[in-house]
Copies of this chain bind each other. A is one copy, B any other.
Amino acid sequence: MKKLINSPDTVVTDALRGLAAAHPSLEVDVENRVISLAGGPRQGKVGLVSGGGSGHEPLHGGYVGYGMLDAAAPGEVYTSPVPDQILLATQRADAGAGVLHIVKNYTGDVLNFRMAAELAEDEDIRVVSVVTNDDAAVEDSTYTAGRRGVGGTVFVEKIAGAAAEGGADLDAVAAVATRVNERTRSFAIALHAGTVPAAGKPGFALEENEVELGVGIHGEPGRERGSMAPMNELIAYALDVIHADLPVSGNLLVMLNGQGATPLIELYGAFAEATAWIEGHGATVARSLVGNYITSLDQSGFSVTLTQLDDELLRLWDAPVSTPALRWGR
């Protein structure tokens, strides 16, 4: 499996050097692996920190900026960041009003963010953690007790970031983050497995007529190995699972996300089908993202994420954001 890399050992470091060179709005501490806002956070604003294994770009470093995250801690590929690293990100995000940790529900991430939160509390930085677990595919999984945190994390980061930018205090920002997570469900289907550079071969094997229904963002198994089918059937399968878990209704925020190797022309086609399915179920696509927002290296396939908006969440979604990967309104 050919990769555009120098060596598996330098993939994350090389990418951080590139992120630094491409985005002067970011301060990238390559040695300590912390991405934060150049100039630091605005005094008195609640800080937002996320992080997790690398390989899901633009998540999380691409979401550091005005109206979203203050700092991100990227681990090795598909590997949790370490507590000291998360502590450093927390310190850089701290502007005197406490820090929200947004943590995808994987055992290592939850543990290491918890340790970092305790270290931060020792330094009188108040930390509240919100764990995302929006994947409707399976209850427990390879790296997870309970549901996995996946695409909904992007929505939590955006909406909580807008609340913090608007002056909400730590408890209020945490409450809105929790609310987004509770109103969000995701489901993913893989067509071809991605390859972790250090492994050098695809993480799992799919035959030419097979797909993985409910795949995780690290290639974890889903509900079942299914048969390859036309795109509209795959979309309907994903949305049926979500709908059975949290009935689809009202105004929705929808993400049709690629896993890294799916062409944008296919993602737009899939979004057309998802929109038709949603409207056919009496709900409305109020806002949307179509593209690669939370990836799995060069895995091919898609995920769909739905959030039931209310007026406040819609307003916060529409608020200005300025990050490398999401930008509007200023």
Contacts and interface: CB of A to CB of B under 8 A. Distances in A.
B230 A262 contact: no
A66 to B, nearest CB: 12
A18 interface: yes
Given A21-B288, A297-B263, A298-B262, A11 B228 contact: no
Interface in A216-252: 228, 230-232, 234
A281 interface: no
A211 B2 contact: yes
Contacts of A273: 6, 14, 18
A270 B14 CA distance: 8
Nearest to A301: B4
What is the interface residue range for chain A against chain B?
Answer: 35 or more
A54 B55 CA distance: 28
18 contacts: A2-B208, A5-B230, A6-B230, A11-B265, A12-B265, A14-B269, A14-B272, A15-B266, A18-B270, A18-B272, A21-B288, A57-B263, A57-B265, A77-B265, A262-B298, A265-B297, A292-B292, A327-B327
Interface of A: 1-7, 10-12, 14-22, 54-55, 57-58, 62, 77, 191-192, 194, 208, 211, 228, 230-232, 234, 256, 260-273, 275, 285, 288, 290, 292, 295, 297-298, 300-302, 327-328, 330
